[in-house]
Structure 1
Amino acid sequence: MSQVYDILIVGGGPIGIACGLEAKKKGLSYIIIEKGPIVNSLFNYPINMQFFSSSEKLEIDDIPFISKEAKPKRNEALEYYRRIVTSNKLNIHLFEKVTGVQKFQDSFLVETTKDQYHGKNVIVATGFYDLPNKINVPGEDLPKVSHYYKDPHFYASQKLAVIGASNSAIDAALECWRKGAEVTLIIRGPEVGQRVKYWVRPDIINRIEEGSIKAYYNSTVKEITDNTVIIDSPEGSVTLENDFVLALTGYMPNFEFLEQLGIRLSADEKRLPEYDQKTMETNVDGLFLAGVICGGMETHKWFIENSRIHAKIIVKAILDKMQLVEES
């Protein structure tokens, strides 16, 4: 049988890295398994993205994060977390996707696209950026539609519809408009989202009021075609000429994966996973949750700055359990 690790960590984002650091510091054997590059979710953020949190609130294990501005950009965060992984020689396996987890009496078998690993405990720190919230309308699968936004240059001189009213949608609308796109916002509610970054929200409201960006409030997309977007608005059905659609309507955790692990989810629309807030251990003995995955569909409640403490909580809980076993 191969090595049995004290901890198998699924997810190599900031919180997964924090868990690896804490395990190493406490002398526990561990491995971090990440399906993409280091901090894969952050890597897939828009290239110009600026965090809402200041740099010190994104720090893990009290390692200083120095940025040019108070609120760092995506590229600075990538460099910060990459340096932590490499300088601390963390045991991380990249571009290796977990395909299955089996629970035995006192251990786990984690199978991946490259290998399999045995561990006494598993920490799931997979975030929620992998599965977009679909709008479920005809034409959503057309090549012109994307649920992820990367670079405004791509949309220059194009008619672009942006669906959504949160930070990702508003950032994309403003950036693409400034690169010469003809931008239309389609917003389900009566206003731009209240949680939009406080220095960005006045900007988008001013652009809408001056007519630079067209906004349809209390509106939903009915259909997407090769050359149009058809929406239901308070004025009735409206057909917009269109080249590209950014459906930035949020993302969700991989609930199917959680259920395969045996984690119980709440029956309501929040789909909250069951875990002990004092230890972060789920209803499955030895299986822990860390980071935004804890919030189910309430993806706005957990983020790096308020979930980085999960690493210390979990490792302490594991050490306490190990001590009880030794004493018994």
Structure 2
Amino acid sequence: METLATLGITIFLIFVIFVPYYIRFRRKEELAKKKLEEAKIDGLVEAYGLHPKIDQNVCIGCGSCVKACPEGDVLEVVEGKATIINGYKCVGHGLCAQVCPVGAIELVLGSPTKVIEVPEVDENYQTNVEGIFIIGELGGIGLIRNAVEQAKKCIEYIAKNRPKSETQEQYDLIIVGAGPAGLTASLSALKYKLKYITLEQEENIGGTILHYPRQKIVMTFPVELPLYGKLKFYEVPKETLYQAWIEIVNKFSLNIKTEQKVVDIVVEDGLFKVLTEKGESYYAKNVVLALGRRGSPRKLGVPGEELGKVSYKLIEAENYNNCNILVVGGGDSAVESAMALANQINNNITISYRGDAFKSIKQRNRERIQKYIQEGKIKVIFNSNVKEIKPNSVILKTLNGEIELPNDYVFIFIGGTLPYDLLKKIGVKIIQKSGN
């Protein structure tokens, strides 16, 4: 009887504990498989920036990486193994690799089918051109945390190992770019008492942060800044993060000159001569490029693009009311800006996108933009291209012929041109990474 009772209890426990767990596991895996198939159809599986590469022979399918990813839906466990299902969402946090208990994940650039070009740098972020350094997104690795750490290591190396200026006209180093990487480099230069100047092509500091639509949430981690201490942010509105950087710049009186787009770097009498678009020249023993991967905004190359109503970034959406507005592009920046503008008073918003669907936007944006379209707040014209921008209208080429829309403003979000021409001109070696 005792044996039968024990067997009955065991069977009962199996049904109460194991069977529900198994059912939940199978449902979750089937959902993951469905997501994977949908992502394959939409071409969203592969990641091209810094992302996890999973050794399927080592992975034990524990799901730690899935839970650790702050972006969500990048990884799932499929058939007992961690699998990338939405690689386009990955921004290289690297937490998946950190939490993997068996070391099955490494972070790589590029993908097996698409290579990514990045400048070749050593462990101190110095390029093959001695005295030229590259930090931040331009090196292929994003995130504020990475930019900060690279900048600190780079400037520490320069302070200890590179030659200093010999005259008052010279700088120990010139920093190009005033985003998170460039600003951290400026703080580090101040910490090590280096004579430096930071040149920024925009009229404001902030780099990529400035190009996020208003109130976009920036995912970051607490970072330790030279002289300042810990910047304690996890999720923060763009404005809050930007204001923090402004306060840091003012507190330490960082030597930054804005509206100074660098157009060339040449060697002259053993120094780097940095020339700007305004015709000014700066001399230094070392140059740190913290330009980001956005580069200069990519243009459409159509008549009328030079009109004052055309912009390549949106900072204050609330300044636009009672307007006919065209947003060009199909990425996150385009749809987020369109939604921000649609939230203002009596705007008529149209998105023109050359593709047949929004394939490369985050799931949250995909759901939101569909709602805006269904509610009539935004009109989307897929498979369309801008032919001409006129003072009071725009002409689009569509599958059904040309159409002309009344227009007050045009916002263009079609990416940027990387400064690789400049890098190649000064002799920096560009390498390809495939993620293999």
Residue 210 of structure 1 aligns with an amino acid whose one-letter code is E
Match of 1:247 in 2: 412
Whole-Å Cα distance in 2 between the matches of residues 60 and 108 of structure 1? 28
Are 2:351 and 1:171 equivalent residues in the alignment?
A: no
2:352 to 186, 194, 211: 186
When the two structures are superposed, what TM-score results if normalisation uses the length of structure 2? 0.52
Are 2:184 and 1:18 equivalent residues in the alignment?
A: yes
Match of 1:39 in 2: 205
Whole-Å Cα distance in 2 between the matches of residues 125 and 16 of structure 1? 5
Match of 2:396 in 1: 231
**Would the aligned equivalents of 2:388 and 2:396 in 1 still touch at CA under 8 Å?**
yes
Q: Deviations over 1:176-208 (max 9, x none)?
A: 111121111111112224234x43331111111
**Would the aligned equivalents of 1:227 and 1:242 in 2 still touch at CA under 8 Å?**
yes
Distance 1:150 1:29, change over 3 A: closer
Query: Relative contact order (alpha carbons < 8 A, sep ≥ 6): 1 or 2 greater?
Result: 1
Whole-Å Cα distance in 1 between the matches of residues 199 and 205 of structure 2? 11
Are 2:244 and 1:80 equivalent residues in the alignment?
A: yes
Distance 1:200 1:63, change over 3 A: farther
Whole-Å Cα distance in 2 between the matches of residues 15 and 50 of structure 1? 20
Match of 2:365 in 1: 200
Are 2:232 and 1:71 equivalent residues in the alignment?
A: no
Whole-Å Cα distance in 2 between the matches of residues 206 and 96 of structure 1? 42
Distance 1:106 1:43, change over 3 A: same
**What's the secondary structure of 2:245's corresponding residue?**
helix
Give runs of aligned pairs for residues 118-133 of structure 1, distance below 5 A.
118-127=283-292, 131-133=296-298
1:109 to 269, 273, 290: 273
Distance 1:86 1:165, change over 3 A: same
Residue 197 of structure 2 aligns with an amino acid whose one-letter code is I
Q: Give 1:15 shift.
A: 0.7
Residue 140 of structure 1 aligns with an amino acid whose one-letter code is E
Whole-Å Cα distance in 1 between the matches of residues 254 and 309 of structure 2? 40
Larger of the two Rg values belongs to structure: 2
Residue 159 of structure 1 aligns with an amino acid whose one-letter code is N
Q: Deviations over 1:14-55 (max 9, x none)?
A: 11122233344456543323345562535753672424423x
Match of 2:172 in 1: 6
Residue 8 of structure 1 aligns with an amino acid whose one-letter code is I
Is 39-48 or 145-154 further displaced after alignment?
39-48
Q: Give 1:171 shift.
A: 1.6
Match of 2:324 in 1: 159
**Would the aligned equivalents of 1:230 and 1:240 in 2 still touch at CA under 8 Å?**
yes
**Would the aligned equivalents of 1:159 and 1:244 in 2 still touch at CA under 8 Å?**
yes
Whole-Å Cα distance in 2 between the matches of residues 84 and 275 of structure 1? 35
Distance 1:178 1:191, change over 3 A: same
Whole-Å Cα distance in 2 between the matches of residues 25 and 159 of structure 1? 50
Whole-Å Cα distance in 2 between the matches of residues 96 and 151 of structure 1? 23
Distance 1:244 1:117, change over 3 A: closer
Q: Give 1:60 shift.
A: 4.8
Residue 34 of structure 1 aligns with an amino acid whose one-letter code is E
1:30 to 187, 196, 203: 196
Residue 384 of structure 2 aligns with an amino acid whose one-letter code is S
Give runs of aligned pairs for residues 281-292 of structure 1, distance below 5 A.
none
**Would the aligned equivalents of 1:9 and 1:123 in 2 still touch at CA under 8 Å?**
yes
- Structure 2 residue runs of 5 or longer lacking an equivalent are 1-166
Whole-Å Cα distance in 2 between the matches of residues 28 and 276 of structure 1? 34
Whole-Å Cα distance in 2 between the matches of residues 79 and 235 of structure 1? 47
| Aligned alpha-carbon RMSD (Å) | 3.4
Match of 1:297 in 2: none
**Would the aligned equivalents of 2:223 and 2:230 in 1 still touch at CA under 8 Å?**
no
Q: Percent identity between the aligned chains? A: 28
**Would the aligned equivalents of 2:172 and 2:196 in 1 still touch at CA under 8 Å?**
yes
Whole-Å Cα distance in 2 between the matches of residues 30 and 88 of structure 1? 13
Whole-Å Cα distance in 2 between the matches of residues 212 and 161 of structure 1? 13
Distance 1:183 1:59, change over 3 A: farther
**What's the secondary structure of 2:197's corresponding residue?**
strand
Residue 378 of structure 2 aligns with an amino acid whose one-letter code is I
**Would the aligned equivalents of 2:393 and 2:406 in 1 still touch at CA under 8 Å?**
yes
